[in-house]
Amino acid sequence: MLPAEPVDDADVPRWIAELGLPGLVDIHVHFLPESVTRKVWAYFDRAEEHFGYAWPINYRTDEATRVDTLRRLGVLRFAPLSYPHKPGMAAWLIDWARDFAARTPAAVPTATLYPEPGVADYLAAALDAGVRCVKVHVQVGGFDPRDPLLDPAWQLLAEAGVPVVAHCGDGPLSGNFTGLDVFEQVIAANPGLVAVLAHAGMPDYQRALELAKRYEHVYLDTTMVGTPFTERTMPLPADWPTRLVEVADRIVLGTDFPQIPYAYVEQLRAVHHWAAADDRLGTGFLRAVLHDTPARLLRVEDSGKI
């Protein structure tokens, strides 16, 4: 039987404990250099101009407080994702993320990329240094993931088996190269690529599920999916929990903390509702999504020992 769903952030540790988990593993969290963070937050402050609706950042605090917030929520490990929007930025972000992970025990080392000369070199160096997750943001980067400059990078990642969290869907805004049909070409050309479709491919949820069924290394993260905020504009199919049954082992926790315009608990409540809606999901599904599957992808199977 499922425990009672968490009522607020303070109630999350109780819920985790009653699920029999040591904590959460979040594959989609954002920590960036301070100068970049300010620019990202300024963008969301003008969300009504960009999206047509407000996007108040719920966790607008300093870096140390944000790390402590995740700890108090029961997040044992997380992937601090960064992403460039122009050439020459990715290598700098990788260096910053390495330093952040070194001083933040719960953070795993992450990297990112951009189609530019030298991308394979700095990515290979990052992999050699122990990177466990790579972020690709097609919409913000405004690049074609099929760019030949990226071919050796995709090959490196496929061989390494390091998960790539790819924001490649059309939500909340489409771009010149967004759309799951575009990124599927990258997946098809690199069969070993472990691709985590950010936001479950929002808003093309059905196509994302189809890709997970078609390719054995495709996963979907839960970031913002099914929350009341997102349901207003990009709602899930009514039978979403039933559709998840076939790919229950390919769903991983992601949240977009701290940029989310609501409390962290809202994402957890959404996942809880899916588990409760179909008896074939239940507690086993929650344990897999919240801890076991992302821990395996990030190679932190020892997360229960922290």
pLDDT value at position 305? 40
**What does the pLDDT average to over 40-66?**
97
What's the pLDDT band for 302 if we cut at 50, 70, 90?
Answer: low
Number of Cβ within a 10 Å radius of residue 247: 17
> For residue 276, what are the contacts with CB-CB under 8 A and spacing of at least 6?
2, 5, 282
Structure tokens at 300: 């932190």
d(CA 201, CA 250): 13
The backbone torsions φ and ψ at residue 154, rounded to the nearest 5 degrees and listed phi first, read -60, -40
Amino acid at 116: E
Q: Which residue has the tokens 């050309």?
A: 189
pLDDT value at position 303? 52
Q: What confidence tens digit (pLDDT) does each residue in 228-249 have?
A: 999 999 999 999 999 999 999 9
289 or 304: which carries more pLDDT confidence?
289
Nearest alpha carbon to residue 36 among 135, 121, 118: 135
Q: What confidence tens digit (pLDDT) does each residue in 109-141 have?
A: 999 999 999 999 999 999 999 999 999 999 999
Q: How would CATH label the architecture of 16-297? A: Alpha-Beta Barrel (3.20)
d(CA 291, CA 24): 5
Q: Indicate whether this model's pTM tops 0.75.
A: yes
